[in-house]
Amino acid sequence: MKRQGLLRLVVVVLVLVLALSVASPGASASDGGKSRVWVQFVPGAKAQVEHALVGARADFHYAFDELDAFVVSVPEAALKGLAKNPNVVLIEEDAVRFPISIEKSQAPAPASSILPDQVIPYGIDMVQARDVWDANFDGVVDTGAPTGSNRKLCIIDSGMYTAHEDLQGLNVAGYNGNLAWDEDGFGHGSHVAGTIAAVNNAFGVIGVTPGTVQLYIVRVFGNDGAWTYSSTLIDAANRCASAGANIISMSLGGARSNATEKRGFDSLYSKGILSIAAAGNEGTSAYSYPASYASVVSVAAIDSAKNVADFSQYNDQVELAAPGVGVLSTLPYIDTSLITVDDISYAGGHIEFSARGTAVGELVDGGLCATAGAWAGKVVLCQRGEYDFYTKVMSVQNGGGVAAVIYNNVPGGFLGTLGEGYSSTIVAISLSQEDGQYLVANKVGSTGTIESTILQPASGYEYWDGTSMATPHVSAVAALVWGAKPTASNGDVRAALTATAQDLGTAGRDIYYGYGLVQAKSAITYLAGSGGTTKTVHIADLDGTRAVSKSKWTATVTAKVVDEIGGLVSGATVTGTWSGGFTGTGTCTTTTAGTCSMTTGSMKLTMASVTFTVTSISGTDLTYNATANTDPDGDSNGTVITILK
């Protein structure tokens, strides 16, 4: 067993070195010849491994005692030496984690700081939020209705702009990670917070919980939205737990899994915390982490017609779906892009990476703006199509134009970009087809004023797309449901959410919608009617070890028990039979880690092997499904394991 473990460690280190050598410069765990890695040590060997790391000139970032792990930056040349240390169990890359990329929706953003009348974002009713706390839809929270006020929800993101007009009066605290938690120059965290808890008042928007859930904010992203690490995420999640959070909401992820990060989220789940994360916006079947760990709920995005978004990642880990297209919520800035002609303003969007500012000039029709024209001092109207936005804007700039207005070639508006690494010295905005065609037909020769500005900090609102926007819907629904029955476990709440989700797509659970659209009221009704939710459980791993002395030997089997959605199960009694070198019955009860162990009596050295067969798993509200037994290590079939002397 030790030989096999060492081989696995060496392979992991070789893969790590290769991964670091091909990682992109913008997202690498390698810095100045040092690799940022997790180093897991043998329980009880912390001091020895710490000494070895100091000797290897490691920079220490974190020590996670519960995970028996350090996170360090260590010279790459020292990796192989550390791998040979008998006290080191595993070395793996500290994978990067990003805020799940968002797109501003094609729907126009409100132009003013205060929405004069409160807008109910479509997702609020789609997830049955008002059915829970405003049954007659009169705008007043019903007396005694569940509002999640007795639950604490932790948001790990880019902070929250607490001065926003629609986030006043919240029960909120937080932790300053890289920057102050109560500020947000990026906007991602504030948009998430508004969907969860925007206040029920006369203006702005409203959250799934009407400004009532307790919030705890842990900031891990800066004002530029740059990536962070899996270790930073685990540290943040642990801070959520220490603050008493029941639910952790993460609109973030990364493409690479991390075994120690997974153990961290497994541990949080076993402690009763429900972690929820975005499935990802790549529009592929790729897994995103932490969403794709079994102990985390993975959330897909759907639109107002309940169709899965084309950007939403799809795979067998997707568990629930929620509104994630054209989601209106709070932002810490006001982004204004418009053209005013004859005192009438036409709202559009900023062409990303073009200049900001104000420009005034006579309107001219530039057609497709494929090449520069004689446009000195003009505001040039360009039709979208055939050529990229950078070509069009450069044509206007090189022709002396003061601003480019690109209007759509299909109905509606759009959002455009010059492309990362490109820029312009003139202002460029996008416009809907309808407005653009009207200006071309009726206003050429008139004076147009172009404004593309951003005011920050300020109380703004925008429509955004992304699984990042879907995730807070599910997190807030979980708070409503759990708040209605605070004695329920995280597993009970999770089961209620999946059991009552509105089935979409292919009947039953599928890779696009998971179990379906999350439904708050239905889940509350389900949970209220179940004294305890029955779980179907199975063996997820069987491991065998042996201890050999001069005259005898013993074998130990460790079983891991999970429920049907991969959650660790404590209090499960595993029973089985020994055969071969030892005969008898073995039994044990799982801990909060979902595992327990059984050991044989002493066997003579002439006995070459012993076999253990799982016969049952029992416990309160547990049903055993033996056909689901599995073993990812391949050293058993999940039911039977043989240990060689």
Give tens-digit pLDDT for 150-167. 999 999 999 999 999 999
Higher pLDDT, 179 or 101: 179
Closest by CA to 562, choosing from 510, 499, 629, is: 629
Mean pLDDT of 214-221: 97
Is pLDDT above 60 for 5? no
What pairs with residue 37 in β-bridges? 72, 93
Last residue of a domain, one of 62, 94, 126: 94
Is pLDDT above 70 for 264? yes
Task: For residues 497 and 476, give the distance between their C-alpha atoms in angstroms, rounded to a whole number.
Answer: 12
- Do residue 427 and residue 505 come from a single domain? no
Asked about 538 being catalytic, the answer comes back as: no
Burial group, residue 359, by CB count within 10 angstroms (0-12, 13-18, 19+): buried
| Active-site residue, selected from the candidate residues 157, 235, 492, 541 | 157
Mean pLDDT of 229-250: 98
Q: 508 Cβ partners below 8 Å, 6+ apart?
A: none
Task: For residues 621 and 368, give the distance between their C-alpha atoms in angstroms, rounded to a whole number.
Answer: 67
Amino acid at 606: T
State which H helix or E strand residue 434 sits in: helix 433-442
Model pLDDT for residues 103-127, shown as the tens digit of each residue: 777 665 565 556 778 999 999 999 9
Last residue of a domain, one of 528, 562, 586: 528
**In 10 A of CB 411, how many CB atoms?**
8
Task: For residues 624 and 616, give the distance between their C-alpha atoms in angstroms, rounded to a whole number.
Answer: 7
The half-sphere exposure of 619 on its side-chain side, counting CA atoms within 13 A, is 26
Higher pLDDT, 256 or 100: 256
Mean pLDDT of 80-98: 95
Domain count, the chain: 4
Name the band, by pLDDT with cuts 50, 70 and 90, for residue 25. Answer: very low
Closest by CA to 556, choosing from 512, 599, 612, 503, is: 599
Higher pLDDT, 566 or 67: 67
Which stretch of 16-20, 58-62, 384-388, 431-435 has the lowest confidence by average pLDDT? 16-20
Q: 510 Cβ partners below 8 Å, 6+ apart?
A: none
Mean pLDDT of 287-311: 97
Q: Could you tell me the end-to-end alpha-carbon distance of the chain, in angstroms, rounded to an integer?
A: 10
Angle at alpha carbon of residue 50, lines to 45 and 56, rounded to 5°: 130
- Do residue 413 and residue 320 come from a single domain? no
Name the one residue in this structure whose structure tokens are 């009221």.
521
Q: What is the per-residue pLDDT for 110? A: 60
- Do residue 290 and residue 352 come from a single domain? no
Average pLDDT, the chain: 91
Q: What is the per-residue pLDDT for 114? A: 64
What are the strands of the beta sheet with 334-341, ordered from one edge? 344-347, 334-341, 447-455, 357-365, 378-383, 403-407, 427-431, 349-350
Q: What is the per-residue pLDDT for 570? A: 86
Closest by CA to 542, choosing from 598, 591, 585, is: 598
SS3 for 225-264, per residue? CCCEEHHHHHHHHHHHHHCCCCEEEECEEECCCCHHHHHH
Task: For residues 554 and 192, give the distance between their C-alpha atoms in angstroms, rounded to a whole number.
Answer: 54
- Do residue 177 and residue 299 come from a single domain? yes
Task: For residues 17 and 331, give the distance between their C-alpha atoms in angstroms, rounded to a whole number.
Answer: 41
- In the chain, what is the greatest distance between 2 CA atoms, to the nearest angstrom? 102
Last residue of a domain, one of 34, 60, 94: 94
| Active-site residue, selected from the candidate residues 112, 242, 345, 602 | 345
Name the band, by pLDDT with cuts 50, 70 and 90, for residue 331. Answer: very high
Asked about 191 being catalytic, the answer comes back as: no
- Do residue 562 and residue 520 come from a single domain? no
- Do residue 191 and residue 250 come from a single domain? yes
Asked about 345 being catalytic, the answer comes back as: yes
Query: Are the beta carbons of 412 and 384 closer than 8 angstroms?
Result: no
Angle at alpha carbon of residue 31, lines to 25 and 32, rounded to 5°: 115
Q: What is the per-residue pLDDT for 407? A: 98
Name the band, by pLDDT with cuts 50, 70 and 90, for residue 16. Answer: very low
Mean pLDDT of 322-330: 96
Is pLDDT above 60 for 214? yes
Q: Find the helix packing angle between 188-197 and 467-484, rounded to 10°.
A: 30
- Do residue 443 and residue 395 come from a single domain? yes
Stated pTM of the model? 0.82
What pairs with residue 604 in β-bridges? 552
Is pLDDT above 70 for 2? no
- Do residue 541 and residue 511 come from a single domain? no
**Length in residues, the chain:** 645
Task: For residues 307 and 316, give the distance between their C-alpha atoms in angstroms, rounded to a whole number.
Answer: 18
Task: For residues 300 and 305, give the distance between their C-alpha atoms in angstroms, rounded to a whole number.
Answer: 14
Is pLDDT above 50 for 433? yes
Q: What is the per-residue pLDDT for 450? A: 97
Count helices and strands in the chain by DSSP H and E runs: 13, 35
| Structure-block tokens of residue 485 | 């029955």
Closest by CA to 37, choosing from 211, 259, 314, 263, is: 259
Output the domain CATH number for residue 70.
3.30.70.80
Higher pLDDT, 110 or 283: 283
Q: What is the per-residue pLDDT for 593? A: 79
Q: 170 Cβ partners below 8 Å, 6+ apart?
A: 162, 197, 199, 211, 215
Name the one residue in this structure whose structure tokens are 């500012």.
357
327 φ, ψ to 5°? -90, 120
Closest by CA to 29, choosing from 284, 221, 232, is: 232
Residue 372: which domain range? Answer: 334-455
280 secondary structure, DSSP code? -
Output the domain CATH number for residue 125.
3.40.50.200
Alpha carbon 33 to chain centroid distance? 30
Burial group, residue 32, by CB count within 10 angstroms (0-12, 13-18, 19+): exposed
Q: Please enumerate, as own/partner, the contacts of 367-375 that have beta carbons within 8 Å and a separation of 24 or more.
A: 368/392, 369/393, 369/395, 369/396, 369/404, 369/406, 370/395, 371/395, 372/396, 372/398, 372/399, 373/399, 374/399, 374/400, 375/399, 375/400, 375/401
Is pLDDT above 80 for 566? no
639 secondary structure, DSSP code? S
Amino acid at 141: V
Output the domain CATH number for residue 564.
2.60.40
Model pLDDT for residues 357-403, shown as the tens digit of each residue: 999 999 999 999 999 999 999 999 999 999 999 999 999 999 999 99
Q: 549 Cβ partners below 8 Å, 6+ apart?
A: none
- Do residue 209 and residue 353 come from a single domain? no
Task: For residues 300 and 321, give the distance between their C-alpha atoms in angstroms, rounded to a whole number.
Answer: 5
Name the band, by pLDDT with cuts 50, 70 and 90, for residue 293. Answer: very high
Model pLDDT for residues 342-353, shown as the tens digit of each residue: 999 999 999 999
| Active-site residue, selected from the candidate residues 94, 158, 188, 465 | 188
Model pLDDT for residues 38-58, shown as the tens digit of each residue: 999 999 999 999 999 999 999
- Residue % of the chain over a pLDDT of 90: 86
Task: For residues 485 and 276, give the distance between their C-alpha atoms in angstroms, rounded to a whole number.
Answer: 19
Alpha carbon 440 to chain centroid distance? 44
Mean pLDDT of 515-544: 88
Task: For residues 260 and 38, give the distance between their C-alpha atoms in angstroms, rounded to a whole number.
Answer: 8
Sign of CA pseudo-dihedral 232, 238, 242, 246: positive
Task: For residues 296 and 252, give the distance between their C-alpha atoms in angstroms, rounded to a whole number.
Answer: 12
Closest by CA to 119, choosing from 210, 198, 196, 206, is: 206
- Do residue 383 and residue 436 come from a single domain? yes
Q: What is the per-residue pLDDT for 32? A: 64
Name the one residue in this structure whose structure tokens are 């071309």.
440
Beta strands in 348-407 (DSSP E): 349-350, 357-365, 378-383, 403-407
- Do residue 408 and residue 472 come from a single domain? no
Name the band, by pLDDT with cuts 50, 70 and 90, for residue 31. Answer: low
Output the domain CATH number for residue 382.
3.50.30.30
563 secondary structure, DSSP code? E
Name the band, by pLDDT with cuts 50, 70 and 90, for residue 313. Answer: very high
- Do residue 118 and residue 79 come from a single domain? no
